[in-house]
Amino acid sequence: MGKVTNKTKPFDTKRSIQKATGKTNPARQFSLHSDGKEYRWSNRLERVGVIRAGIPYDSIEIISRRLNNPVKSVLAMVGIPQTTYNKKKSEHSLLDSRDSELVILINELIDFGLEVFNNEEEKFQRWLKKPNVSIGGNSPESMLDTITGINEVRFSLNRLEFGNLA
């Protein structure tokens, strides 16, 4: 009888606790490049600072590209009229804190979703559009208009990552 080797990695308790509590790894950086400027944060308090300062209106286009959706649908998600968007973007204005927070959270969710789907953008985008039992039969994409909805999609991605119903 030959020797049996176990090639699975041991359970990483520290990583599991960090994921469960939402504490990010200090080395993990989040960023959003918009209007020729980079907005960076590595923890929730830094994110609050970026949100309060506001991010440019053209960050809507970034989310549009990342979701593979027209700008018009992202504007509907965030609740900004097209005319307001056009005017504020041409003036190089900043989104208010509520809209900045939604855009930043959607950006972080896209990063997390791509991580869960091993950077397979097409699979992740298909998943975003399909009705999902774990979020009441809604498509994940339809939940991105509120912070609570974004959190529910994140929870669904967490469940998917760990092999549960998602």
Report pTM.
Answer: 0.78
pLDDT in tens, 103-151: 999 999 999 999 999 999 999 999 999 999 989 999 999 999 999 999 9
pLDDT in tens, 62-82: 999 999 999 999 999 999 999
The torsion angles phi and psi of 40, rounded to 5 degrees, stand at -125, 145
For the chain, list the strands marked E by DSSP.
Answer: 30-34, 37-41
Domain coordinates of the chain in residue numbers?
Answer: 28-161
Q: Which two tokens stand for residue 144?
A: 């991105």
Query: pLDDT tier at 10 (50, 70, 90 boundaries)?
Result: low
The HSE-up count of residue 140 (CA atoms within 13 Å, CB side) is 23
